[in-house]
Structure 1
Amino acid sequence: MNTKIQKITEADQECFVNMFNYYLYELSAYSLEDIGTNGTFEMDDTSPYYQDERLHPYFIKVNENLVGFILITSPPYVAEGVDYSVQELFILPKYRGMKIAKEAAMRIFRLFPGRYDVGMFKSNAKAVKFWTNLLSSLNIAADVKEGVVEIAGNTLSTMALTFVIQSEVDSHD
């Protein structure tokens, strides 16, 4: 399997917004958000992802098929003392369990070594397991911080992992 990441540009906006709505659909099991009156999830303006060089959006492709995306932010869009944050990582259900998310994360880590923060809903057991297993497989220790966030009137438990990616990261397959 040939996994690649491809920078998302303004020309990709429609495709990205469509795919992001699939992501929000899946995330709604944890965020408890409802769709809007137009039948889609309410989204923030995505144009900063195409216009701000401190935001790093990538499609994930396998054998030229679009299978997901990964969104990385850098200062000032991250907490103090953090270089990068994995804001979102999404793989279409058909392609899960094939180590595509791991390979995409590894490609990002090679491009952007430094201090990372990854946040997730604590109830999202798949995300918690993915990030915990990935870091464990790389022998990378992470600081764990629990918190809460309020979304649509719901108070939800969160979990954040902070860790350091060295400039020479190996996948340890």
Structure 2
Amino acid sequence: MTIKLKEVLESEKSILRNLYSLYLHELSNFTTHLNIGVDGIFHYEELDDFWKVDGLSPYFITLNESIIGFILLLERPFLKKSNDYGINDFFILNQYKGKGLAVQAVKKIFEKKQGQYFIIQVVENKRAVAFWKKVYSELDIETIERQDLVDEELCLIQTFSI
């Protein structure tokens, strides 16, 4: 099973919007700051910025040409400080979790984009925290980790170089 990353075109925005609603629904288990819209969809208001702001780079994660998730990579010039990249949002459909495909996707992004990274997880999202710790262990990545409030949520923040 081969994972590929594909830059999301603006013409594919509606697909990404649908996946973001699923992602935000999943995140709503760990925060009180996400609410479903009156139309029954979790909305990501900044989605249109992905094609207007340099350094917001969405990628579809594909398996055998089918979309199974996405990664939102932050990079320069959007990032201004010491990090070159940040994995802001990362989502895999439930049926593909636990099969090593998410780790493959992370490896692909690290092969494509090397530099100083940061990754943030909501502390309460134990599955995400465990996933990233597994990635760091499997790829032999040394991280510096700290806790901080991000948008009023207690988060773990790891920084490292690839």
8 Å CA contact retained: 2:54, 2:76: no
AA in 2 matched with 1:40: I
Separation in structure 2 between the aligned mates of residue 64 and residue 111 of structure 1, nearest angstrom: 19
Separation in structure 2 between the aligned mates of residue 42 and residue 14 of structure 1, nearest angstrom: 12
What's 1:30 paired with? 30
AA in 2 matched with 1:13: K
Question: TM-score normalized by structure 2?
Answer: 0.93
8 Å CA contact retained: 2:55, 2:79: no
Q: Is 1:99 aligned to 2:100, yes or no?
A: yes
What's 2:156 paired with? 159
Separation in structure 2 between the aligned mates of residue 108 and residue 63 of structure 1, nearest angstrom: 18
What's 2:88 paired with? 87
What's 1:3 paired with? 3
Separation in structure 2 between the aligned mates of residue 18 and residue 54 of structure 1, nearest angstrom: 22
User: Which digits, 9 at most, give the CA deviation of each residue in 1:97-120, with x for residues without a partner?
Assistant: 111111111111011100000001
Number of residue pairs the alignment of both structures matches: 161
Q: Provide the secondary structure at the position in 2 that maps to 1:72.
A: strand
8 Å CA contact retained: 1:60, 1:70: yes
Task: Flag as ranges the 4+ runs of structure 1 deviating above 4 A.
Answer: none
- Taking the TM superposition and a 5 Å limit, the aligned residue runs for 1:48-67 are 48-67=49-68
Deviation at 1:75, TM superposition (A): 2.7
What's 2:21 paired with? 21
Question: TM-score normalized by structure 1?
Answer: 0.87
Q: Provide the secondary structure at the position in 2 that maps to 1:107.
A: helix
Q: Provide the secondary structure at the position in 2 that maps to 1:82.
A: coil
8 Å CA contact retained: 1:8, 1:50: no
Q: Which moved more, 1:45-54 or 1:119-128?
A: 45-54
AA in 1 matched with 2:158: L
Alpha-carbon RMSD:
1.4
Q: Which moved more, 1:136-145 or 1:49-58?
A: 49-58
Q: Which moved more, 1:70-79 or 1:94-103?
A: 70-79
